[in-house]
Amino acid sequence: MIAQIIIADDDENIAALLGEYLMSKQHRVILVYDGFQLAQKAAEHRPHLIISDIQMPGAYGSSVYQVLQKDPKTKDIPILFISAHPQERIKSILPDDPKTRFIQKPISFTTMDKYIAELLPLGGYVP
């Protein structure tokens, strides 16, 4: 089974870079560029994982998280948040949830791979 992952980042270059990297790992990738698209595509496609920038047009990452948690179709999807903001600030914004992780930009692909491996099974992915 191929994992389906939504990447949400308003920086199209970062979204494309992450998308290409994940496709090279044989994942199916859906790119979106704002919080509204993220909520819509997550409900429509029900991915195994969401990788989302925290600060995007349309909705702040923590607001999108709350929307996703209220929707029965998306509440169980794990999320890997990315941001240039310091981790201490992000921890105060995001809830303590075993289905979420955080990576600070610039992104370490080694760390991202580790978190993806932890989160995909929580989203129903079976290799």
| 2-52 tens-digit pLDDT | 999 999 999 999 999 999 999 999 999 999 999 889 999 999 999 999 999
Asked whether the CA dihedral 57, 12, 52, 104 is positive or negative, the reply is negative
* Spatial distance between the Cα atoms of 33 and 61, rounded to a whole number of angstroms: 12
CATH for the stretch 4-123: 3.40.50.2300
Query: For 79-127, how does the pLDDT look when each residue is reduced to its tens digit (9 = 90+)?
Result: 999 988 777 777 777 778 899 999 998 999 999 999 999 999 999 998 7
Distances (CA, A) of 4 to 27, 29, 58: 6, 6, 23
Domain ranges of the chain: 4-123
**Residues 73, 76, 78, 82, Cα dihedral to 10°:** 60
